[in-house]
Amino acid sequence: MSAAYIALKRQQRPSVAPRIWIPLSVLLGALAVAPLFGLPIFIQGLVIEILTFSLLALSLNILLGYTGLVSFGHAAFFAISGYAVAAVATHYTPDILVTLPVAILSAALCALPLGWLSIRLSGFYFLMITFAFAQMVFVAAFRWKWLTGGSDGMLVSGPTLFGTPVLQSREQFYFFALALFVICTVALYCIVTSSFGRTLIGIRENTLRMRALGYNVRRYKLAAFVIAATFGGVAGAANALFNLFIAPESAHWTQSAMVLVMVLIGGASYFVGPIVGTTVVLLLQHWLSSHTEYWGLVLGILFIALITGAREGISGLVMNLTGWLRGSARS
């Protein structure tokens, strides 16, 4: 059994090279001290958006990059947790020690029945059932005006901590989002590099062989689905707390498609790929939208060119280029 498992493991590229943590740590350190040197408010907001959606893309990559399941409805959990934050803050208490756990738990609990049903399917059928669920959440958020505010959306009360308002300034939320991102990223890295994560890779590479080796494939897929939804819920809660607003568009299929594009552009085979893809997509979106009203068309063409020209994403291009340069230097 071990020989077959090792053979499967060798087929997969490393999830992230150990040396990548050095520049990543330097970057996070620079982000941590940047506000102390007068980082503009707009840039702080952009960094918060990148951190939030990077976490959402990382959670999706648990399914796409490691388990081989293409979900087209991941934004549903993003929206569910956001509405949970708004509902609890409005009708019960805005205390962040209550709203944040309830929001994350809501996403995880909704993922359990959907995951139990959807993991029995694969390929196109899995994609369609997740898409259908996300559209159900979108329609519910749009129609249930008594609960969600309908098309007008729902305001989120400012967070408190034991009755004291917190995260009132952009700078405070900047540090909160950065700390949340670091904690969740380290947790996700520990998951994908553990024996559980290696088993997911084996399932992605050869499901039949892993089942023959005695692994309960459905149980592992369900666990991966719930874990992905849980961290997606963290991103949704953070987004709702930052904007103090949640709308049905958060669950729309276009949101799920955008996150999927972020993962593919960055490189689903690499742990840092979703972070790279999210950063590129959001920076391009902000830059193009300030120069042309047809920024959506330009962005779409760029995405198509990048995805078709670089099947392993930007991370794959960088790794291949680095390997080629290193080989050339040795020769």
Question: What are the CB-based long-range contacts (under 8 Å, 24+) for 216-222?
Answer: 218/119, 218/120, 220/67, 220/196, 221/67, 221/69, 221/115, 221/119, 222/112, 222/115, 222/116, 222/119
Give the C-alpha separation, 151 to 255, whole Å: 16
- What the block records as the tokens of 88 is 């609890």
pTM equals 0.89
Binned at pLDDT 50, 70 and 90, residue 298 comes out as: confident
Report yes or no: 114 and 144 within 8 Å, Cβ to Cβ: no
77 closest CA partner among 326, 255, 294: 255
- CA neighbours within 13 Å on the CB side: how many for 60? 37
Residue found under tokens 């594009």: 261
Nearest to 191 by CA among 15, 73, 3: 15
Q: Is the pLDDT of residue 3 over 80?
A: no
Q: What is the pLDDT of residue 122?
A: 78
Secondary structure letter of residue 16 according to DSSP: S
Structural domain boundaries of the chain? 40-252
φ/ψ bin of 185: left (φ > 0), alpha (ψ from -120 to 50), beta (otherwise):
alpha
pLDDT tens for each residue of 43-76: 999 999 999 999 999 999 999 999 999 999 999 9
What pLDDT score was predicted for residue 21? 67
**What confidence category does residue 19 fall into, taking pLDDT thresholds of 50, 70 and 90?**
low
pLDDT digits (tens, 9 = 90+) for 80-121: 999 999 999 988 999 999 999 999 999 999 999 999 998 888
CA distance 133 to 84: 17
- Given this model, what pLDDT does residue 187 score? 95
For residue 156, the SS3 value is: coil
Q: Is 124 left (phi over 0), alpha (psi -120 to 50) or beta?
A: alpha
The two three-digit tokens of residue 295, written as one number: 């920024």
Contacts of 174 (CB under 8 A, 6+ apart): 35, 44, 47, 48
Element (H, E) at 201: helix 195-205
Phi, psi of 17 (to 5 degrees): -65, 140
Per-residue pLDDT band for 20 (boundaries 50, 70, 90) equals low
Distance CA 274, CA 55 (A): 8
Q: What phi, psi does 164 have (nearest 5°)?
A: -100, 125
Which among 114, 140, 86, 137 has a CA at the least distance from the CA of 228? 114
What sign has the CA pseudo-torsion 17, 22, 23, 29?
positive
In this prediction, residue 16 carries a pLDDT of 45
Return d(Cα 169, Cα 272) in angstroms, integer. 29
